[in-house]
Amino acid sequence: MICRLPSAAISAAIAMALAAPVGAQNAPEDEDILVEAEREQRHREARQQAREITPRARTVVSAIARFQEPICPGTLGLDPESARLVNDRIMYNAELIGLPVAEGEGCTPNIIVAVVPDPREDFAELRDLNHPLLRGVDLWERKRVAGQEGPVLAWNITQTRTSAGQARSGGAAFDSTQTSRLSLGVREDMVLSVILIDDDVIGDADGVALADYATMRALAETTPPDGDTTFGTVLAMFNEGAISSQRLTEFDLAYLRSIYESRDNDPSQFSFRNVGKLMEE
């Protein structure tokens, strides 16, 4: 049975409702709007930071390079136990973002982490010899690598392939009618990443920190940030005076996941669209 309130009680309730501040009545909705605005701002800042640590200028007709083959790291310049720790951690990180890793021992390294006395001297020697570690790295890219500041030099060797993974043959045969604003006819396959680290700076970093830093330089084309960042990143670990994490941060993992979870032939502008969302996970 429905019970009705007396008329006097109804009048009192109406009066109280009318007397309540308008802002109080709308508070829950206003709070939701504020939270959503803050979330979108965070997402924009995450996408912006992702673009800032990606060195090559990308356009809608290019794709972000990524590994297609199982990850096989090799570490030089450390004692065997430390080298094993670095390699295992890199493979763990790769699996964490969904990448396959080489099974068993004896694989050919496609990620090389070398701790050396002078990265620039070693790079100059490799360049003069036109060493296989630089095959496929054009003149512009070699100059960019040589111009990197700090105690680390890193580069990634990539190959342009069709969206189906076919090797580039050149000429009109490589052109694709699949290219559009939303999908490209080609993809960029990463085939080798090399990281040369000055041995003077590794004293304060443990093997996990070294591996996490190498992960961010090896699995994507990245560069350490110039100055402070909105979100923490292990890429700043060797930046002089920077306050940095010595582990992969939520931003770092979201950055890598956003790349590898997007389609191989996505235009670069779409590869970073989910960084903020993935950080929330």
Over 50: is that where the pLDDT of 31 sits? Answer: yes
- Which tens digit of pLDDT belongs to each residue from 201-255? 988 789 999 999 999 999 999 999 988 888 999 999 998 876 678 899 999 999 9
Distance separating alpha carbons of residues 117 and 105, to the nearest angstrom: 28
* Rounded Cα–Cα distance for residues 131 and 153 (Å): 16
Handedness of CA 124, 120, 134, 84 (dihedral sign): positive
Neighbours of 161 (CB within 10 A): 19
Render pLDDT for 65-124 as a digit per residue (tens, 0 to 9).
999 999 999 999 999 999 999 999 999 999 999 999 998 778 999 999 999 999 999 999
Q: What is the pLDDT of residues 163-209, one digit of tens each?
A: 777 876 555 445 554 555 566 788 899 999 999 999 999 887 899 99
Letter string b/e over residues 132-146, b meaning 16 or more CB atoms within 10 A of that residue's CB: ebbeebeeebeeebe
- Residue 13 CA, chain-centre distance (Å), reads 57
Q: In terms of C-beta density within 10 A (0-12 exposed, 13-18 middle, 19 or more buried), how is residue 166 classed?
A: exposed
pLDDT at 16 over 60: no
Q: Under a CB-based contact definition with an 8 Å cutoff, are residues 259 and 64 in contact?
A: yes
- Say if CB 100 and CB 79 are below 8 A apart: no
